[in-house]
Structure 1
Amino acid sequence: MSTGVFDPLREQLLDAARAFGTDGNGAGDGVAKLLAGLVDDVDRALREELEIFPVCHHSPASALAMARRLREKRPKVVYLELCEDFAPLLAELKNCRLPVALQSFANEVDGFPKRWAPLSVIAPITEASAEYQAIAYAQETDGVELVLVDRSTDHVYQWDPPEPGAPSDAASDGPSDPKNPGDEDALHGDAVGVEIGDLRPGFAELEEHLLHHGKVRHWSEWWDQYVEQPLVGADYATYRQVMTLIGGLFRRLDPNPRNVRQNELRERHMWTRMREHLAATGADPGDCLYVCGASHAVSRVDEFGLRPDEPAEPFEIPPRTATKWRYGLIPSSHSAIEAQFGLAPGSVSIAAATFAKAVRRGGVKPFRLKDRRGAAAAAKKKAAPAPAVDPAAEAADRLSGFLSSPPALDPLDESELLGWCVDIVGLARRNGYLASTADAIAVFETSILLAGMRGRTRPTPYDFQDAAVTCIEKDRVPGRRDVARLCEILLGGDRIGQVGYESLPPLARDVLDRLEPLGLDLQKRTVQRALLNLDADPDLRACSDLLWVLRRLLPDDAVRPIMGARELGERSIQESWDLAIGRNQRSLVELGYEGVTAEQVLERRLRRAVYDPKATAAIALRAVEDAVVHLGARRFADELGARAVELLAAERTVDDAPEVLRRIRRLLAHYRATEPELPRWCGEFVTAGYTHYCTLLPTAFVDDDTGVRQVAAMLGFLLGMESLALSLGCERAQLELAVRQSHPETPAKIALLWAAKSQLGLMPVADVRARCDELLASPLSVPSFPHYLSGFVQALDPAPTLAPLVVEVLSKAFGRLPDRVLLPWLPKLIRALKDHAREMVPVLVNEAARTFPGSLPALDAWTPPWSGSADPAAAGAAAPSAAPGPVSDLLAGHPAACDAVASLLGHPVEWRAAPAAAGGGEASALVARYPAASAAVAALLVR
């Protein structure tokens, strides 16, 4: 019930509502109820025995009012609206450079859907905020207890689950800057932000109305002009009543039931915690201060207040889930806070500048945390006696005067505005703009003009920014930053926080300690170059090993190798690195939530990757490589390899066949070069893959969704690993049966099948050559011939002996096809080779270099081996079986070679003086029996 203090104000508002509703449409009743409710909200909050301090997040007016009130009241207990499980982190703030954010992180969830992982909640802290003033007061003053009463981070996800498809960040309040994309907006990542006092209209109509009549561009400018500036120098009673009124207005007009439900759950939790603390400690409510968002100060839940009657149904706080949360501090920045909470770009920087300016003016001394290294940190200050405060003065009606009187117009501060204009011109010139003294004068006059048009005598930073953009940014942006961004830098800049070494998790400190031999200050946000001569200084090898592990764990720009590589069987002698670990401190801190050392985190991530439900054999083989290269753990690599065997046997597609083939080849080559024998899992992988790909080969040949590269990789595995698979117990008949059962229809796969049959001896090379000649001779098959060629080029991996045939077929195509056919056909060939056989084209080029002569004179006299008498088949058919010739002379001239061949074939070596025509000797008989082979050898030697 009302005490009568605000009765005159209530009557004035009701009279206004009645006048508003004289048109008979009934609107006056709703307005009257709303206005009367607002006055009741303020009256109720001020009458509460436990003093409620309403605040807005990152508000300089709230911070200044908090500092004044803390010095006046000297409370012994401060209840703060902040997640209760963040309490242990507050002691570490004195080691940090603000702004920073309190973070809770859960990589593995238990009790939440798996698709939500990882979970992250952050609460940014800036110096120009009421919560920082309360924290600093409690930690720097003896006998003061700080109690966090908001729900835990686990309850954040219990009570406010993420909506499907909803963006992680709030919608931006102002236009973004596409010309200046920075990584500072990503300092918070996709964490859920927790703030104290989100004072913004809950529906667009009211916000649009306020912006239109306030003659401002966005909400941040309206709030600064009509709330922050009038309240920066206001007394505590006025500040408290006005902030409570605004909180009640936005609370009552919020149409979103989700917001209403979340606010009520948080308020019931906070009042329950405060009641429990008061009952447990016996503290006097008069010595306590409750700091919460302005919308929570006018709560209407049953638990509100410390009245003796308890709610009908006490609020039961649900238990937390089994999710294991880890806590730490991460660096933040003004731009990250703006992006997280939907504020206009530069608004937090302007708020910080407003706070600093008010502090310089005097009248209030803010609280600050002392660094532990400072002498003042040895002991807390003893609380000074609280000055006498007149309760009647605090309870008096200040709203009537504040609402009825026009806002005080600050006089023009010409020196401040001139300084801004001169500085922005100099900054613009350094960034490529052709600005001059005339532009500084134009910005000065335009700022005054814009302020006058908007109803204020003193230009605000937003007026100055608009004037600078109008006068300096003519037609283009010559550099990376536009004028609006330059104004933000001039007025305060994007201050970026840093977590001190003492407040880092053990893993982050371990990383910095182990990289100390590099002689670099890795806490800096600049990119630093590290040069490592590993032969001259072997002690740096440990740093190199750690850097390669961090390269695998941190973002790409954090640890970037410039020179050097780390692969299977490869170690660099010298390395060069670009290190930006200080700029990526948040990622380094979050690594500390997963383990104690970087190697442990890498091991856990590799194990989690291979046991993921979506893991494939290719992923497991990559994990094996990382385990061998970065960890050197043979037992762990064998465990991952055994998992790779299981995954390969369970796969039903061959989409990853190229990557599987590439990685298993590298691993086999590494183990053969470094180990006395292959690991057991390698043999199991080869045998499982042989059986697996033989089973799927006929289906892959006819499946339209399976590409040529995948089928070629399968054949590469089967034919390349055939000797090892057969030695481990596989049967070649399985592969031959799979090839015979394959009946492809597309040209590229048909060519692959011919190559596979040729490699297995099921189709002579002469038959493949004849079929290619038939394709070239038929006008119907010429348009599709590039696809056949792409299949042949792709087949060079499983059947490398076909390289001469592919060169021959390609040469015949260019030699026989007329220009009218060749010119339209050539782009198809290039596109087919580019899409399907990029890796094999160098092999084809090398074979062509061996086939064709290397000089123009030699080219004129050169005869292709596949044309005329040089053709092996033609030469074999034309040569008489027993006629003397160059072959017999060659055999007689090199008897040692013939003796070796005869011994290998199991024939006795008998040389006779009789001519070959008489059929003397086993060698002559062998030549006579196989004339084609002799002719082929002769053609090779002649070439």
Structure 2
Amino acid sequence: MQEAATAFAGGPDALEDILLGLVADVDRAVHEPLEVFPVCHHSPASAVAMARRLREKQPKVVYLELCEDMAPLLTELRNCRLPVAVQAFATETDQFPAEWAPLSVVAPITEASAEYQAIAYALDTPGVELVLVDRSSDHVFQWDARAHAPAPEAGPDAPPEDEEAALHGDAVGVEIGDLRPRFAELEEHLLRHGKVRHWSEWWHQYVELPLGDSDHDTYRQVMLLIGSLFRRLAPGDPHRVRVDEDRERYMWTRMREHLAATGTEPEDCLYVCGAFHAVSRVEEFGVRGSDTFEIGPRTATRWLHGLIPSSHTAIEAQFGLAGGSVSIAATQWAKNLKRTRVKPYVLEGQSGRRPSKSRKAVAAAAPGPAVPPSDRLTGFLGQPPALDRLDEAELLGWSVEIVRAARRNGYLASTADAIAVFETSILLAGLRDRARPTPYDFQDAAVTCIEKDTVPGRRDVRRIVEIMMGGDRVGQVGYDALPPLARDVHDRLAPLGLKLQQRGVRRALLDIASRPELEACSDVLWMLRYLMPQGSARAIMGERKLGERPIQESWDLSLGTHQRALIELGYEGVSIEQVLEQRLRRSAYAPQATAATVLAAVEDATLYLRSRRLADELGNHALQVLSAERNVDGAPEVLRRVRRLLAYYRTSEPVLPPWIEAFTKAGYAHYCTLLPTAFTDDDAAVRHVSAMLGFLFGMESLALSLGCDRTQLELAVAQSHPRDPAKTALLWAAQVHLGRLTRAELRATCDGLLGNPLVVPAYPQYLSGLVHALEPVPGLTDFVVEAVSNAFGRLPDPVLLPWLPTLISTLRKDGSALAPLLIREAGRIFPGRLTALDAWVPPWLDRAEPVDPRPAGTGGLALLAAHPAACDAVAGLLGCEGTWETAGPGASGAVLAALHPDTAAALEVLLTGV
């Protein structure tokens, strides 16, 4: 105490003031007419003392330090397997920063906690009222300190972030009994002088063990002393002090309001709160305190409440406790019950409880040596290291079990190691001035004696000890306590015949072809896959595409493991269809939403909900978003999704929806307007411009049929003057498609580039543009193969080799559409056997340009004369009238061709392709 006062209170003279303050705080709390019961969260000693005091006092009203808006949920605890957490959740906030959403407050409850004893007593005892008096969940965030100070970091002994540690997510934890030093220096001082490694071990050694079987007065005074000491040595953070004091004013104001409204006598009540708040010095403290505190109104935030599964690991991670400390507390709770023979309170119908031992088994356990109540705490640290029979038997069992578990995990452990662990545990306890070995001593002894220089398996000895002590117990929310959405999901998946509420992975096989009723289950599973975290519903076989019906599917389901995520879906709606529709609307109408994002929502609405109404609404919104965009970053995604939706509607609907017709017209005009700028903009990549051209050329026939003008596209291409080589090649492909550039001219241009030494280093960039041109102009595939082949044959290695990674990355990125075209065309052109390669001549080198010296329109006269019926049919289609006149053998069509030269020229091109 002298050293602590010197280090943290300004000098040894401050010790007198601290001691007098401690006495005053304890005296004030003890003489309060409304009995104040100080507790520590998840403390077995607090739980035992609470159960004993409730049976002695039998209070009529229990005031509990817990968010007052969580009271309706407590009755549902009987339908759950502990540990679980009471949660308040809000997705849409009011008067809170947007980056805080969603808001979540959780209060975890375990069986070895004082608050559970109070809740079980109040709910199952007739005539007893349970009143929650702490600030509401809304006030938790109103007074939140996250904007003023960062959250405390987990220490080195905190459990790792894994799936179980994330059960509470990013929720704000509400703790009953904040009994931890408020700054690191004091905690380090206590750990160093207590010869322990972390706070959980200090608390277990110096509080849990002495108070585990103490009487009520001793327990109460010690807890008040600890709370007063930590409060007086806490740093003066103004914001935190104000929050603590406002909570105390809030709770005492609520209690006085209840006493005045019901007329209950304070002597018939019990106030359960953290020891830190039990020694409050605010003016509002006590039933005779002042009524000067005004409780502010709540915001308009709509809070939803429910129960979510919790676990020992999640509690440790949220409150910065050492790994395994909550499991050790559960073990200590069972020992305390056996030692003290206190009968705990348990909610009637509580599920998941371990069967209690019979009275005969409890009586067989020999109690420790009888010690007068006044001496149970006095001299505890000076007691000799002696074991009673119960602890010795327990330590022997631990030593044998750790060896057995270590051998299962690959360690070469033996009976000698069990003896060594037993003796080393006693030795370590003696070196640390402990009367008996604690689980932490046993853990250190096991690591020392069994774990040598390597870990043969997945688990080290420290983790094996944690599992042996009870492991990570995970709670479960019962079916009756689930929100309507979660119950509806389980009901709709009932035909699968799986126990989906259990933890672990369940394999579901859906033969929809033979059992059509399973298609409804398939719809639910695909929506869950979309809405829930990865791994909760994983498709092993089967996929969902537009216009396709499922035949067989296989799923790995772990809804029991991800029960919290399913419960939180219930906060957003009463059915998964409603939640999915809300999510799609939220993403489509978000401020940062693009046309591609909205089209994705349209596709998902069609794919998962089969909702034409929602798809039409979102499609009309996509049209507005596209018209407002001023960049082309989303053009590739827009092109892909519009193509899929258009193909789906053309095969499944009698007519196209009005929104997609309007989107095609607007997109055609929009991309024509942006095309010249995109060709010259350095921020617009080649694939973006290629996607724009793909939209314009791919949707051209539909757009023209809807009234668009092709002249707009021709003008946009004519006004485009790119400087980048890749975009220049892309422009050439567009000109070929529009007929403004022939293939011969394009081939001559490429040959000229290869023959120009100044341009050769940039030639691969032109080829990259031609490769991207396959998206809008797939008819150039053979020419691109020709150009790439010429590049491989004529480019020098210093230019060719650095370009190959670029070509490979381009094909990999757009391989789904471009690579098959190139591979198919290359397979058609190149010889199929290696032996034929030497004699093979590329078709572009063997091609001779056709030269016809005859006048236009006479090249196909012989063919026309040979097939007069075909000529008559084509002439009828073209609206030409005439009769055949013979002028000699073989010239039956000459006169008609001479009368209609334009028709003859068109037929020549049609029939000969020249």
Superposition pairs of residues 747-896 of structure 1, within 5 angstroms: 747-819=725-797, 821-834=799-812, 839-868=817-846, 870-871=847-848, 875-877=849-851, 880-881=853-854
Do the aligned partners of 1:331 and 1:585 also contact (CA within 8 Å) in 2? yes
Cα deviations by residue, 1:548-572 (Å, 9 ceiling, x for unpaired): 1212111121111111122210111
Residue 244 of structure 2 corresponds to: 263
Do the aligned partners of 1:174 and 1:218 also contact (CA within 8 Å) in 2? no
Identify if the C-alpha distance between structure 1 residues 159 and 678 changes in structure 2 by more than 3 Å, giving closer, same or farther. same
Residue 485 of structure 1 corresponds to: 463
Task: State which of 135, 138, 141 in structure 1 corresponds to 2:125.
Answer: 141
Task: Output the amino acid matched with 2:655.
Answer: E
What secondary structure sits across from 2:106 in the alignment?
strand
User: CA offset at residue 227 of structure 1?
Assistant: 1.1
Task: State which of 115, 120, 124 in structure 1 corresponds to 2:99.
Answer: 115
Residue 240 of structure 1 corresponds to: 220
Aligned counterparts of 1:936 and 1:477: Cα–Cα separation in 2: 79
Identify if the C-alpha distance between structure 1 residues 38 and 164 changes in structure 2 by more than 3 Å, giving closer, same or farther. closer
Whether 1:593 and 2:577 are equivalent positions in the alignment is: no
Residue 286 of structure 1 corresponds to: 267
Task: Output the amino acid matched with 1:68.
Answer: R
Cα deviations by residue, 1:394-414 (Å, 9 ceiling, x for unpaired): xx9969974797467552634
Give me the TM-score of the superposition, normalised by structure 2.
0.91
Do the aligned partners of 2:210 and 2:380 also contact (CA within 8 Å) in 1? no
Cα deviations by residue, 1:570-613 (Å, 9 ceiling, x for unpaired): 11111111111111111111111111111111112212221222
Residue 392 of structure 1 corresponds to: none
Residue 201 of structure 1 corresponds to: 181
Whether 1:669 and 2:650 are equivalent positions in the alignment is: no
Residue 380 of structure 1 corresponds to: none
After TM superposition, the structure 1 stretch with the greater mean CA deviation from structure 2, 196-205 or 416-425, is 416-425
Task: Output the amino acid matched with 1:665.
Answer: R
Whether 1:175 and 2:157 are equivalent positions in the alignment is: yes
Task: State which of 412, 421, 425 in structure 1 corresponds to 2:403.
Answer: 425
Aligned counterparts of 1:420 and 1:892: Cα–Cα separation in 2: 106
Identify if the C-alpha distance between structure 1 residues 478 and 702 changes in structure 2 by more than 3 Å, giving closer, same or farther. farther
Task: State which of 650, 657, 663 in structure 1 corresponds to 2:635.
Answer: 657
Task: State which of 530, 555, 558 in structure 2 corresponds to 1:552.
Answer: 530
Identify if the C-alpha distance between structure 1 residues 753 and 571 changes in structure 2 by more than 3 Å, giving closer, same or farther. same
Identify if the C-alpha distance between structure 1 residues 242 and 865 changes in structure 2 by more than 3 Å, giving closer, same or farther. same
Task: Output the amino acid matched with 1:269.
Answer: Y
Cα deviations by residue, 1:358-409 (Å, 9 ceiling, x for unpaired): 11234311111111799xxxxxxxxxxxxxxxxxxxxx99699747974675
After TM superposition, the structure 1 stretch with the greater mean CA deviation from structure 2, 113-122 or 340-349, is 113-122
What secondary structure sits across from 2:509 in the alignment?
strand
Task: Output the amino acid matched with 1:230.
Answer: P
Residue 254 of structure 1 corresponds to: 234
User: CA offset at residue 621 of structure 1?
Assistant: 1.2
Residue 310 of structure 1 corresponds to: 290
After TM superposition, the structure 1 stretch with the greater mean CA deviation from structure 2, 346-355 or 234-243, is 234-243
Whether 1:103 and 2:87 are equivalent positions in the alignment is: yes
Do the aligned partners of 1:881 and 1:931 also contact (CA within 8 Å) in 2? no
Identify if the C-alpha distance between structure 1 residues 535 and 752 changes in structure 2 by more than 3 Å, giving closer, same or farther. same
User: CA offset at residue 29 of structure 1?
Assistant: 3.1
Identify if the C-alpha distance between structure 1 residues 767 and 214 changes in structure 2 by more than 3 Å, giving closer, same or farther. same
Q: Which runs of 5+ in 2 are unaligned?
A: 353-371
Task: Output the amino acid matched with 2:283.
Answer: D
Aligned counterparts of 2:818 and 2:248: Cα–Cα separation in 1: 68
Do the aligned partners of 2:725 and 2:765 also contact (CA within 8 Å) in 1? yes
After TM superposition, the structure 1 stretch with the greater mean CA deviation from structure 2, 835-844 or 199-208, is 835-844
Aligned counterparts of 1:889 and 1:816: Cα–Cα separation in 2: 44
Do the aligned partners of 2:158 and 2:321 also contact (CA within 8 Å) in 1? no
Whether 1:213 and 2:199 are equivalent positions in the alignment is: no
Task: Output the amino acid matched with 1:458.
Answer: R
Aligned counterparts of 1:857 and 1:164: Cα–Cα separation in 2: 78
After TM superposition, the structure 1 stretch with the greater mean CA deviation from structure 2, 342-351 or 536-545, is 536-545
Aligned counterparts of 1:759 and 1:560: Cα–Cα separation in 2: 45
Residue 296 of structure 1 corresponds to: 277
Task: Output the amino acid matched with 1:720.
Answer: G
Q: Which runs of 5+ in 1 are unaligned?
A: 1-12, 375-395, 939-943
What secondary structure sits across from 1:369 in the alignment?
coil
Superposition pairs of residues 188-587 of structure 1, within 5 angstroms: 188-255=168-235, 256-307=237-288, 310-311=290-291, 314-371=292-349, 402=378, 406=382, 409=385, 411=387, 413-587=391-565
Whether 1:51 and 2:35 are equivalent positions in the alignment is: yes
Do the aligned partners of 1:89 and 1:328 also contact (CA within 8 Å) in 2? yes
User: CA offset at residue 926 of structure 1?
Assistant: 8.7
Identify if the C-alpha distance between structure 1 residues 476 and 552 changes in structure 2 by more than 3 Å, giving closer, same or farther. same
Aligned counterparts of 1:804 and 1:405: Cα–Cα separation in 2: 90
Task: Output the amino acid matched with 2:503.
Answer: R
Residue 672 of structure 2 corresponds to: 694
Do the aligned partners of 2:159 and 2:322 also contact (CA within 8 Å) in 1? no
Aligned counterparts of 1:692 and 1:164: Cα–Cα separation in 2: 48
Aligned counterparts of 1:88 and 1:556: Cα–Cα separation in 2: 32
Aligned counterparts of 2:132 and 2:533: Cα–Cα separation in 1: 34
Aligned counterparts of 1:890 and 1:862: Cα–Cα separation in 2: 33
Residue 647 of structure 1 corresponds to: 625
Do the aligned partners of 1:876 and 1:931 also contact (CA within 8 Å) in 2? no
Do the aligned partners of 2:215 and 2:373 also contact (CA within 8 Å) in 1? no
What secondary structure sits across from 1:538 in the alignment?
coil
Aligned counterparts of 1:317 and 1:698: Cα–Cα separation in 2: 63
Cα deviations by residue, 1:877-914 (Å, 9 ceiling, x for unpaired): 4x54489x999988887777777777777777889777
Identify if the C-alpha distance between structure 1 residues 780 and 523 changes in structure 2 by more than 3 Å, giving closer, same or farther. same
Residue 389 of structure 1 corresponds to: none
Identify if the C-alpha distance between structure 1 residues 60 and 372 changes in structure 2 by more than 3 Å, giving closer, same or farther. closer
Identify if the C-alpha distance between structure 1 residues 589 and 832 changes in structure 2 by more than 3 Å, giving closer, same or farther. closer
Do the aligned partners of 1:101 and 1:124 also contact (CA within 8 Å) in 2? yes
Percent identity for Structure 1 against Structure 2: 65
Task: Output the amino acid matched with 1:645.
Answer: L
What secondary structure sits across from 1:753 in the alignment?
helix
Task: Output the amino acid matched with 2:818.
Answer: M
Aligned counterparts of 1:936 and 1:31: Cα–Cα separation in 2: 111
Superposition pairs of residues 609-628 of structure 1, within 5 angstroms: 609-628=587-606
Aligned counterparts of 1:484 and 1:110: Cα–Cα separation in 2: 46
User: CA offset at residue 151 of structure 1?
Assistant: 0.5
After TM superposition, the structure 1 stretch with the greater mean CA deviation from structure 2, 113-122 or 431-440, is 431-440
Residue 138 of structure 2 corresponds to: 154
What secondary structure sits across from 1:52 in the alignment?
strand
User: CA offset at residue 862 of structure 1?
Assistant: 3.4
Do the aligned partners of 1:333 and 1:497 also contact (CA within 8 Å) in 2? yes
User: CA offset at residue 116 of structure 1?
Assistant: 1.9
Aligned counterparts of 2:475 and 2:325: Cα–Cα separation in 1: 17
Do the aligned partners of 2:214 and 2:373 also contact (CA within 8 Å) in 1? no
User: CA offset at residue 820 of structure 1?
Assistant: 5.8
Do the aligned partners of 2:729 and 2:769 also contact (CA within 8 Å) in 1? yes
Identify if the C-alpha distance between structure 1 residues 437 and 787 changes in structure 2 by more than 3 Å, giving closer, same or farther. farther
How many residues are aligned here?
Answer: 887
What secondary structure sits across from 1:267 in the alignment?
helix
User: CA offset at residue 472 of structure 1?
Assistant: 2.9
Task: Output the amino acid matched with 2:663.
Answer: F
User: CA offset at residue 161 of structure 1?
Assistant: 5.1
Cα deviations by residue, 1:763-805 (Å, 9 ceiling, x for unpaired): 2222222221122222332233222222111111111111111
Aligned counterparts of 1:913 and 1:226: Cα–Cα separation in 2: 125
Do the aligned partners of 2:117 and 2:344 also contact (CA within 8 Å) in 1? yes
Identify if the C-alpha distance between structure 1 residues 723 and 775 changes in structure 2 by more than 3 Å, giving closer, same or farther. same
Do the aligned partners of 2:145 and 2:239 also contact (CA within 8 Å) in 1? no
